[in-house]
Structure 1
Amino acid sequence: MLNPQEQAIAAGEDGAGMAMRIVAESARLLGAPQLIGIASAHIDGALYHGDSGTLFAERLVEGGAKVAVRSTLNVGALDLTGCSPIRLQEPQRGMARRMMEAYRKLGCEQSWTCAPYQAGHRPLQGSDVAWGESNAVVFCNSVLGARTNRYGDFLDIACAITGRAPDYGLHRPENRRARLVFDVSALSPPFLASEIVWPVLGSLYGREVGNAIGVVTGIANHPGEDVLKAFGAAAASSGAVGLFHIAGVTPEAPDVETVLAGSEPEAVIRVTPEMAAKARAGLSTASTPEAIDAVAIGSPHLSDAEFDMLERLIAGRRLAVPVYACTGRHVLSSLERDGRRKRLEASGVVIVADTCVVVTPIMPELAGGVLMTNSGKFAHYAPGNTGYAVLYASLADCVESAATGKPTFTDIAA
């Protein structure tokens, strides 16, 4: 399976040799006939989950390993910018810092964002890459049209060091065609035009299709990158979605016939208003609380445009409960340049950079706490990761609720 050059690298006792052996053994287990070259990587393995991950990265550093391709980093366990206080205690805090430093020494870009595609890392359509982080993977495949599988810890950094990945799965064109249709044309135009619809549909899509490749039909216009980001993140959280198509929107789906490659769909899922309403209700775990304790937004990380919307909705008011707004340092620099950071923080927004509230302890420990969010991904992970019950709502309703401390909902029928 390995060519002579790859065999020579794998025979080495250095960090590159260890990385090549990891990639080669993964390819064998996956049934890949060969390795292929990759153009870039996005590394999810730098988030501290235990000492073994830190020691693994440091062993690569000690072996002289360096990434061979452009490699950005997903969120870490610490906010190195100092924007938000992290409650992670020693010795875990020190080990998390050592881990982040090891990945810097390996040559990775200090991006620390789950939305690298909005921070300038945008591989070309048809190029092969090795990306980790579920929302980044699905965006890369679906919206950019580059090719990656869902690379996990620590295969992602091994691929980055070797510049190779197993030739299987979504790297192969025949595995990227749609096999089922997800038809949303029965939903009302106001609902489809609303901000609230995309995490709802993404959550429903993920549960319905699992890891199958589907094409969404019934969307009249390109909805914009931020909403496609929200759809993909929710779909990758509720299912194992690595690639979706939207007819007339995403690059590999100019129309349904093309993305089905001339075949009949194996299934057609016709989304009804009742299905959408149930999916929307399923994103909330709190029953009918009289008050909320926090709002969390930015999973995936907020874009510059989303911060503009947040500031417009706050309209200079002082919030009754904090809004935790998670983002990358590429957006933070923009917020600092034009004074938005100061204005937002004066209103009660807690900006979180380099990380997010569901992967490291930031919000106060609060028994029976209620968190409101507009993120399908936060809604999926927050109850288990933070202990807070969740209310799902639009960004506008999240801001109004933060202003009063009481949950506010605008009903838009599906």
Structure 2
Amino acid sequence: MEETGSLTLGERERAMLAGEAGEGAAAAMRLVADAARLLGARRLVPVASAHIDGCLYHGDAGTLFAEHLVALGASVAVPATLNIGALDLMKPGNVRMPPERRAMALRLMQAYQALGCRSTFTCAPYQAGHRPAVGEDVAWGESNAVAFCNSVLGARTNRYGDFLDIACAIAGAAPAVGLHLPQNRRARLVLDASALPDRLKDEDAFWPVLGALTGRKAGERVPAITGLEGFASEDRLKALGAAAASFGAVGLFHVVGETPEAPTLAAALDGADADVERLTMGDIGEALALLSTATGADEAVSAVGIGSPHLSLGEFEALIDTFAGRRARLPFYANTGRHVVAELEARGHLPALDAAGVTLVADTCIVATRIIPAAGGVLMTNSGKFAHYAPGNIGHAVIYGSLADCVETAVAGTLRRDLSLWS
């Protein structure tokens, strides 16, 4: 072992820094080691896999960085999946982008493929078979994926940003700080949902609202939520975590009796002191208001968008059932991963979606790149994450509603929203 400042490196890590695994691996290890020193880590932790957020085009620098790693001969040392890019490679016409930016976005996606990453291009890699084991250290990017990985799968990761994510994947290691350490995974805030009505907990639309509320209340604390036993599903926990990570900085949440590190409240706390808050319908109403930025109930909806995080097969089947043979009069975008598109095709669901007027978007999503024709409209969504990002990213005000609200609005061509759910 060798100490460099307060960071102690092992023999493998020192050999990689010295270039014994090639220039690309040495460059990646330098990035990881320097980040570890900045974060105050005393050691690195080996990682079993990675999920890479850096393949979404934000400018030429990201493309040139990835291509530089390729030129240095770098390749990932662990299995690595790719988050969304800026292009829909399955339906290129979906994306409206100037030719020069389109070319750079494509080069970026191709560079990460050349580094050995899987071409998943989804913000829900856990739906594409990337599911690390409980207690396994990994290096994941993308906020909802990180929250799901830590909370629902019970693996351990911090939120790794662009460039550091791929560096960790090439080095096969990450700084041993934050949520990699057991003591930082203990709940410090308890949100008691037992007083909320069961009929509400059994509605899919409730979970993004609870997520937004959790994100706002948690701050930097790990929250544990009680009173939800028997109501959680993987898609509901996905929606909760995505909203909590968007409206706050939540990388890990515990749902007592449902998530792997919280069979009991005592297990989630693990001896830590925690603040306790009893949630009310007033709290839910305030959180619901955060998810709609359009002014007035009579705002003209210009498009409907669902699937952030990407839709699962089960969510698509619910969508088809809700349309019940009808057709949307408004543009209706359903965002998902290419692995789900393959399942939809295998099960014969694509004709029903086409007949309903649903535009499938894969490999990317409507708030990450220009797909909706013009800014300045109103997007209706059942996604807490879309609700948070659409105003800033694509210039659309938002109306939040249930899946049924979204479909009824699209079919009618004008706003339809059942507010009795929230009474």
Counterpart pick for 1:6 among 13, 16, 36: 13
SS in 1 for 2:160: coil
1:149 is matched with: 158
Counterpart CA distance in 1 for 2:181 and 2:160 is: 15
Residue identity opposite 1:373 in structure 2: T
Deviation sequence 1:57-90 (CA, Å, 0-9, x none): 0000000001000000000000011175100112
1:300 is aligned to 2:332: no
What is the aligned length? 412
> Superposed, which structure 2 residues align to 1:136-175 within 5 Å?
136-175=145-184
| 1:55 aligned residue | 64
State the AA in 2 paired with 1:173: P
State how far apart, in whole Å, the 2-side matches of 1:383 and 1:264 are: 38
Aligned residue among 201, 204, 228 for 2:237: 228
Q: How does 1:237-252 map to 2 (within 5 A)?
A: 237-252=246-261
1:382 aligned to which of 384, 387, 390: 390
Are the aligned partners of 1:84 and 1:352 in contact in 2 as well (CA < 8 Å)?
Answer: no
Shift of residue 290, structure 1, vs aligned partner: 4.6
2:273, 2:44 → 1: CA distance? 32
The yes-or-no answer on 1:39 pairing with 2:48 is: yes
Sort the Cα spacing of 1:405 and 1:176 in 2 relative to 1 into closer, same or farther, 3 A.
Answer: same
* Matched residue SS, 1:325: strand
Per the alignment, residue 365 of structure 1 pairs with 374
Q: Which moved more, 1:311-320 or 1:18-27?
A: 311-320
Return the letter of the residue paired with 1:7.
R
Question: Does the Cα contact within 8 Å between 2:319 and 2:403 map onto a contact in 1?
Answer: yes
Q: CA deviation at 1:346?
A: 2.4
| Stretch deviating more after TM superposition (331-340 or 194-203) | 331-340
TM-fit CA distance, 1:180: 1.4
**CA–CA distance in structure 2, aligned partners of residues 331 and 234 of structure 1:** 22
1:366-387 deviation digits (Å, cap 9, x = unpaired):
43x1110000000000011111
Residue in structure 1 matched with residue 219 of structure 2 by the alignment: 210
* Among 85, 90, 94, the residue aligned to 1:76: 85
RMSD value, Cα: 1.2
Q: In structure 1, what is the Cα distance between the partners aligned to 2:11 and 2:273? A: 43
- SS of the counterpart of 2:266? helix
Contact 1:291–1:407 under 8 Å retained in 2: yes
Determine what percentage of the aligned residue pairs are the same residue: 59
Aligned to 1:316: 325
Q: Is the 8 A contact 2:307 2:335 kept in 1?
A: yes
- Between the aligned partners of 1:110 and 1:220, the Cα distance in structure 2 is 36
- Determine helix, strand or coil for the equivalent of 1:81: coil
**Which whole-Å deviations, capped at 9, do the CAs of 1:226-260 have from their partners, x for residues lacking one?**
00000000000000100000110100001111211
CA separation of 1:263 and 1:64: change in aligned 2, threshold 3 A: closer
State which drifts further: 296-305 or 10-19. 10-19
1:98 alignment counterpart: 107
Is the CA contact 2:310–2:337 (under 8 Å) kept in the aligned structure 1? yes
How many Å separate the matches in 2 of 1:396 and 1:35? 47
Q: Aligned with 1:305: secondary structure?
A: helix
Q: Does 1:112 align with 2:130?
A: no
d(CA) in 2 for partners of 1:86, 1:289: 30
Contact 2:187–2:272, Cα closer than 8 Å, also in 1: no
Structure 1, unaligned stretches of length 5 or more?
Answer: none
Which residue among 180, 185, 191 is the counterpart of 1:182? 191
For residue 268 of structure 1, the aligned residue among 272, 276, 282 is 276
2:409 maps to which residue? 401
Determine the C-alpha separation between the residues in 2 that align with 1:180 and 1:387: 34
CA–CA separation in structure 2 for the residues paired with 1:181 and 1:43: 31
Does the 8 A contact of 2:86 with 2:369 survive in 1? Answer: yes
1:331-342 pair list within 5 angstroms: 331-342=340-351
Structure 2: distance between partners of 1:314 and 1:79: 25
Structure 2: gaps of 5 or more residues? 1-7
Equivalent residues of 1:83, 1:353 under 8 A apart: no
How far has the Cα of 1:292 moved from its partner? 1.2
Q: Distance in 1 between matches of 2:130 and 2:93?
A: 25
Q: Do structure 1's residue 289 and structure 2's residue 290 form an aligned pair?
A: no
Residue 187 of structure 2: SS of its match in structure 1?
Answer: coil
1:246 alignment partner AA: V
Instruction: Supply the distance in 2 between the matched residues of 1:130 and 1:84 (Cα, whole angstroms).
Output: 33
Summarize the Cα distance change of 1:213–1:366 in structure 2 as closer, same or farther, 3 Å threshold.
Answer: closer
* 1:238–1:380 Cα contact (<8 Å) kept: yes
What CA deviation, in whole Å up to 9, does each residue of 1:150-193 have, x standing for no partner?
11111000000010111111111111111110111221221122
Comparing 23-32 with 290-299, greater Cα deviation is found at 290-299
Aligned pair in 2 of structure 1 residues 236, 84: CA closer, same or farther (>3 Å)?
farther
